[in-house]
Amino acid sequence: MTYTAPRGTRDILPEETPLWQFVEQKAREVFQLYNFHEIRTPIFEHTELFQRGIGADTDIIAKEMYTFQDRKGRSLTLRPEGTAAVVRAYLESNRHKQEPLSKLWYQGAMFRYERPQAGRYRQFYQIGCEVFGRGGAYQDAEVIATAQQLFAAAGLQNLEVQVNSVGCPVCRPRLKEKIQSFLGANLAQLCGDCRTRFGSNPLRVLDCKNPRCNEFLVGLPDLTDALCADCRTHFQSVHDYLDALQLKFQVNPRLVRGLDYYTKTVFEVLSGQLGAQNAVCGGGRYDNLVEELGGPALPAVGFAFGLERAVMLLQGQGAAVPGTLPYIFLLPLGAQADAQAVLLTAQLRRAGVPTEIDLADRGLAAKLKTASKLQARYVYIIGDNELHEKCGQLKDMRSGGQEKIGLAELAEIVAAKHREKN
Ligand code: HAM
């Protein structure tokens, strides 16, 4: 019997991890530039947190959560996203009472019971950020700029930033009414999901992937006309700040998000290279969620991007980041040499040199073959003869050149070569 990874999950194998680490590193660097601080929250939370935070009508709450009971009968859920959990942690740690502005970033596995396909998994990884305490349009633009700088730093090409406003509780009813009255005559023709959404959350109809439903949306009047004065001014200021930051973006009046907490600005970063799952990143403002989750009325804005999708894009562009290889491979030949090599291996690693050792009882040719397969830069061969002279042969695997180096000097000499290379 052999086992496979559960449907919708995958292993990230060592050939791929360097690219993941590269993106993670770029994210860390860019978040630092924008004064974000890392937060780590649990992988599971009380189910109510997500029910309350994400919205009962969303796909996530209706059908995608990994919910289970623990041994005491508490309902827990593997986090489907990071925002609700970060708000919870922000409030629980009383940061809202201590700092007027909090900028938090996070990374980790998220879980959604979705139909798996290219770029869509049931366990996937997000990197995201949330800003608490600033309601002005500048912060929306800055958050979009953070995402944009991060993708540029990682070398992701041909991305498009789309922005829209989904209004606030004052004007949202008007937006909904506009959609309902436009679509009403064709309600019976819409897909089952859209018919349900039509009553509860008609904005989500704009996001339907069913081409037939999209046809009924042709000619839908511009919804920004239905925004209240405050939301309209805010949206215009976001445009102005994005222009001032020299950020390219498109207004997409159909852009809505799959989570219910958004107010005013929403945005996505899209790529034409990803097929159906074309969103690398999504986010927006959510000025009512902190209060909704038991805190004060504090504005917030943030985004998250999917690491699988970012890495897929980089791979599609032919990007490759080499992983670490052993810099030196120690090849002792015989019991006495083995003991010396064990000591030397420890010394080299302490000196910061990536080192591997081959203690197998076999000949030099076989050991050299392994070292070359593992792409070691140098090998150090210790045979019985050399041992008498307290030295070994350092072989440059690229040039094939060989020199005699004392056991006592090896670590220092190789560490110096390694430092030079880096
Ligand atoms: P979201 O749009 O649901 O937003 O997810 C953000 C990103 O996570 C997506 O653009 C996509 O790249 C990735 N993603 C989502 N689902 C999957 C999946 N099943 N497989 C692979 N990748 C996926 C949020 O999660 C919000 N919490 C973002 C946010 C933060 N808004 C404000 N602050």
pLDDT (tens digit, 9 = 90+) per residue, 221-245? Answer: 888 889 999 999 999 999 999 999 9
In 3D, which of 86, 46, 53 has the Cα closest to residue 70?
46
Q: How far apart are CA 238 and CA 144, in angstroms?
A: 10
In whole angstroms, give the CA distance from residue 144 to residue 301. Answer: 10
Pairing of strands 66-69, 44-46: unpaired
User: Distance between CA atoms of 144 and 162, rounded to whole angstroms?
Assistant: 10
The class of domain 17-171+227-316 in CATH terms is: alpha beta
Q: Please compute the mean of the pLDDT values over residues 236-257 and round it to a whole number.
A: 96
Going from the Cα of 363 to the center of ligand 1, the distance in angstroms, rounded, reads 53
Q: Which atom of ligand 1 is nearest to the CA of 280?
A: 12
Residue 200 has what pLDDT?
Answer: 83
Question: Residue 274 has what pLDDT?
Answer: 83
Strand partners, 157: none
pLDDT of 73 strictly over 90: yes
| Ligand 1 atom nearest to 302, measured from its CA | 33
Q: Do 364 and 357 contact (CB within 8 A), yes or no?
A: no
Local confidence band at 188 (pLDDT 50, 70, 90 cut-offs):
confident
Q: What residues contact 350, with CB distance under 8 A and at least 6 apart?
A: 411
How far, in Å, is the centroid of ligand 1 from the Cα of 284? Answer: 12
Q: 186 pLDDT exceeds 90?
A: no
Residue type, 391: C
CATH superfamily entry for domain 328-421? Anticodon-binding domain (3.40.50.800)
Model confidence at 384: pLDDT above 80 = yes
Position in ligand 1 atom list of the atom nearest CA 305: 7
Question: Tell me: the pLDDT tens digits for 195-227?
Answer: 888 888 888 888 888 888 888 888 888 888 899
For 37-52, write each residue's pLDDT tens digit.
999 999 999 999 999 9
The pTM score is 0.93
pLDDT > 80? residue 370: yes
Mean pLDDT to the nearest integer, 381-409: 94
CB atoms within 10 A of CB 70: 9
- Three-class secondary structure of residue 50 per DSSP: helix
What confidence score (pLDDT) does residue 136 get? 97
Position 55 scores a pLDDT of: 87
Q: How far is the CA of 78 from the centre of ligand 1 (A)?
A: 15
Residue ranges matching CATH 3.30.930.10 in the chain: 17-171+227-316
User: How much of the chain, in percent, has pLDDT values that exceed 90?
Assistant: 81
The per-residue pLDDT for 215 is 87
Rounded-to-integer distance, Cα 49 and Cα 44, Å: 10
pLDDT bucket at 118, cuts 50 / 70 / 90: very high
Residue 114 Cβ inside 6 Å of ligand 1? The answer reads: yes
- Strand ranges in 236-323 using DSSP code E only, listed in sequence order: 250-251, 265-271, 279-285, 300-306
Using 50, 70 and 90 to split pLDDT, how confident is the model at 275?
confident
What is the rounded distance in angstroms from the CA atom of residue 145 to the CA atom of residue 155? 15
Domain with CATH 3.40.50.800 in the chain: 328-421
Spacing, Cα 100 to ligand 1 middle (Å): 27
- 111, 121, 124, 162, best to mutate for ligand 1 pocket (most atoms within 8 Å of CB): 124
Residue 323 has pLDDT above 90, yes or no: no
Q: Taking the CB of residue 76, how many other CB atoms lie within 10 A of it?
A: 16
